[in-house]
Amino acid sequence: MMVPKLEDELENLRPVVIVEDSNSAKKPNLKGDWLNFFLLLLLYTMQGIPFGLALVMPIILQSKKNVSYKDQAIFSLVSWPESLKLIWAPLVDALYVHKMGRRKSWLIPVQYLMGACFIYMASNIDEWLPETRKPDILKLVYVFFFMGILVATLDIVVDGWSLTMLKRNNVGYASTCNSTGMVMGIMLSYIFSVLLTSEDFSNKHLRIRPDVGGVFTMKILKKEKDNRLEDDHVKLNIVQNYSLIWDILKLPGIKLLALTLLTAKIGFAATDSLAILKLIDAGVPKDNIMFIHTPLFVVKMFLPLVVAKYTSGPKPMNVYLTATPFRLFLNISFGVLIYYTPTLITTNGFVNISMYYYAFLIFILSIHDILDNIMRVALLSFFSRISDSRFGGTYMSFLGTLLTLGGAWSSSVAIGMVDFLTFKRCSLDHQNSCSTENLKNMCKTIGGDCVVIVNGYYVETAVCTIIGIIWFCIFRKILKNFQTKGRSYWLVDIKRPRK
């Protein structure tokens, strides 16, 4: 009869964890945390390189002129692993080798697999992406989808590690490392995969004598802390880690936060997914667009450091909400620019782009990328502040999945619907709607052209902007209210297993 009493006494002796609310935590100070800061920056940079390749591939495909928006919609599936990573995030949290480390057990194998994947891609890229024939979209999707799984796994690992690598008062800086590092990796991908592989760019800017092809071809230690020593460590098996997702969903406010994140990107879907592709269709060379983007990466690398003062504080979502109306206004600006681009860059039937046009293009792209980067840093900082560090990989992946899933589904719908919402008519036969390949060929046979009557891009831009305004009016107060909640509001209630 003494055993129950002994168990009760032991239960009372277990340490009580005092959780600081976000508003009462110490002010951020990187003294003693700089090495960890730079290590996180390096890890996110490594993650950004393959992620950047997936981002730049639609631009390369669009420049081939024989790739349809249906093909682009199929390729957009490669972004889905980032949205589905919650499926295997609990495995990453639950399975590891103690001697190697909770995060390094996954980090090292994933890096080796990514290296092998790069070698395989480099040896087959000429076959998948020929100069004259239509690209092999399906093979590109397969390899980039697998690469996406590896990148998403790396994201789970690094996001989870960032919550314990940095001191609690500095955890807001994890978003700075994420945004700056990812931009650095993406910039390297853009430079090597687009600009340095371009024959035109290389001959104009990098070579003394013109030559064939680009100057580059696409053929081309920290000891981890024992997680058992972390505050309030709880060891969960695989089943418990998956059930953790349900425990997170049961938290007050999470369902509403989930709805917020799943719909946050609708207002910007048309511009983010189609604006660059439409500029290329309008006649702006892809090399010039990428050349403009390259110096913007430098701005985006240092921008998170500049805004860290505001995003690492207790209310990072104030920054996000402030930037949202300006981002919605850019939808209209991009629409007007794309509408007038064919007129502005054409002289006597020849493309002749003036410096004034490029100046305005640089300005609008700069504002768009800066606002997008600031909003992302603010969101990631908010995620870092509310995530339960005991289950960092799963918790951060849960929030990140909601955000990326919101962007993925809205982007895929925007790309997939643009042809459906575009209406054409044969210039010599008004009864011919040019809606099928046969009708298009019939129009060409009689010497006519399929003329666009209603451009689906402008329809989508208008609809997305209206939805974005409604979203802002509904969720503004909700997001501000979330910031007033302390960390205890977001902690998962897990009973400590008895030993």
The H or E element spanning position 426 is strand 423-426
H runs (alpha helix) in 387-455: 392-418, 437-445
User: Structure pTM?
Assistant: 0.64
pLDDT band at 455 (very low <50, low <70, confident <90, very high): confident
Instruction: Fill in the DSSP letter of residue 85.
Output: G
Q: How much is the average pLDDT of 4-22?
A: 43
- 353 sits in the region (left: phi over 0; alpha: psi -120 to 50; else beta) called beta
Distance CA 300, CA 370 (A): 7
pLDDT value at position 91? 86
Q: From residue 473, give the alpha-carbon distance in Å to each of 264, 325, 476, 479, 482.
A: 12, 10, 6, 11, 16
Q: Which residue has the higher pLDDT, 13 or 304?
A: 304
The H or E element spanning position 351 is strand 350-351
pLDDT value at position 211? 61
Identify the three-state secondary structure at position 374: helix
Identify the three-state secondary structure at position 350: strand
Q: Which of 85, 80, 152 shows the shortest CA–CA distance to 401?
A: 85
pLDDT value at position 9? 41
pLDDT value at position 450? 86
Percent of the chain whose pLDDT exceeds 70: 83
Percent of the chain whose pLDDT exceeds 90: 16
Most confident of 186-195, 203-212, 383-392, 488-497: 383-392
Q: How much is the average pLDDT of 338-354?
A: 86
pLDDT value at position 24? 41
pLDDT value at position 380? 86
* Residue pLDDT, tens place only, 192-236: 665 545 556 556 655 556 665 554 454 444 455 555 544 455 566
Mean pLDDT of the chain: 79
Q: Which residue has the higher pLDDT, 209 or 91?
A: 91
Q: From residue 118, give the alpha-carbon distance in Å to each of 121, 140, 202, 219.
A: 5, 13, 24, 9
Identify the three-state secondary structure at position 115: helix
pLDDT value at position 19? 45
pLDDT value at position 237? 66
Q: How much is the average pLDDT of 108-126?
A: 84
Distance CA 426, CA 444 (A): 9
